[in-house]
Structure 1
Amino acid sequence: MSTTAETGEGDAVVTATEAAADQARDLMAGEDMDPEEAGLRLYVQQGGCAGLSYGMRFEHEPESEDAIFESNGLRLFVDQSSLDYVGGSRLDFEGGLQGAGFHVQNPNVESECGCGESFRT
């Protein structure tokens, strides 16, 4: 059964900055995804030089066991095993020529690789 949390409820909440939410909603609109049902999935996978890395993709609807967070008008879907690693994180978006894209600000990270693509908790 999925759970929904609003920004500000507990330590395991995952949020998005206004810039990240705006960018994600624009991208979803380009894919003709319904913002009432669709969302951005944030997950953790094995890999990278530090051991774990983030993954993101748009999905039309959450899975039954997902935690669902709503932040700045964006729905974020996080599976329960990934939530152990990303609880308390904030998704941000940075534009520009270098480092443009989505970035996870994760308080659980103990160390990151030099490129910032993988981490260890």
Structure 2
Amino acid sequence: MSTADATPTVDVTEPAAEQALDLLEGEGMDTDVAGLRLFVQQGGCAGLSYGMRFDGAPEDDDDVVEAHGLRVFVDPASEQYVEGSVLTYETGLENAGFDVENPNVSRECGCGESFRT
């Protein structure tokens, strides 16, 4: 688990945290325990893709990052791929939603939905 002394696995912008917290509360989840799970899975034309979902609590071996009141859970297998990333939230008519700015990506597919490190 992350500690205050360690560099967090991921950083979260304030707008991303606010949006996720609003969604968590809208689902009736306790934001003191529940959080946003960020994970990497096989898929997409570049080989890997991001996944996000709300979880009621972290798993025992998760890295738990707390930023702007939001808890983000990252499993050990995904941690190596997302370390140093920033979770953002974009608004607008096109491409509104969460985005992961990942410094470890060496190649992305044309649509930006998958990546390779």
Same fold, TM-score > 0.5, yes or no: yes
Cα-Cα RMSD: 1.2
The 2-side partners of 1:19 and 1:36 are apart by 18
Indicate the residue corresponding to 1:73 in structure 2.
69
**Quick check: 1:46 aligned with 2:34?**
no
Indicate the residue corresponding to 2:79 in structure 1.
83
Indicate the residue corresponding to 1:120 in structure 2.
116
Indicate the residue corresponding to 1:93 in structure 2.
89
Post-superposition CA distance 1:20-78 (Å, at most 9, x none): 00000000000011010000000000000000000000001001110000111110000
Number of aligned positions between the proteins: 117
The 2-side partners of 1:5 and 1:17 are apart by 18
The 1-side partners of 2:6 and 2:102 are apart by 17
The 2-side partners of 1:68 and 1:32 are apart by 21
Task: Classify the secondary structure of the residue corresponding to 2:19.
Answer: helix
Q: Which runs of 5+ in 1 are unaligned?
A: none
TM-score calculated relative to the size of structure 2? 0.96
**Quick check: 1:9 aligned with 2:6?**
yes
Amino acid in the other structure paired with 2:11: T
Amino acid in the other structure paired with 1:23: Q
In the alignment, which of 31, 34, 38 is matched to residue 35 of structure 1? Answer: 31
Q: Which runs of 5+ in 2 are unaligned?
A: none
Runs (4+) off by over 3 Å: none
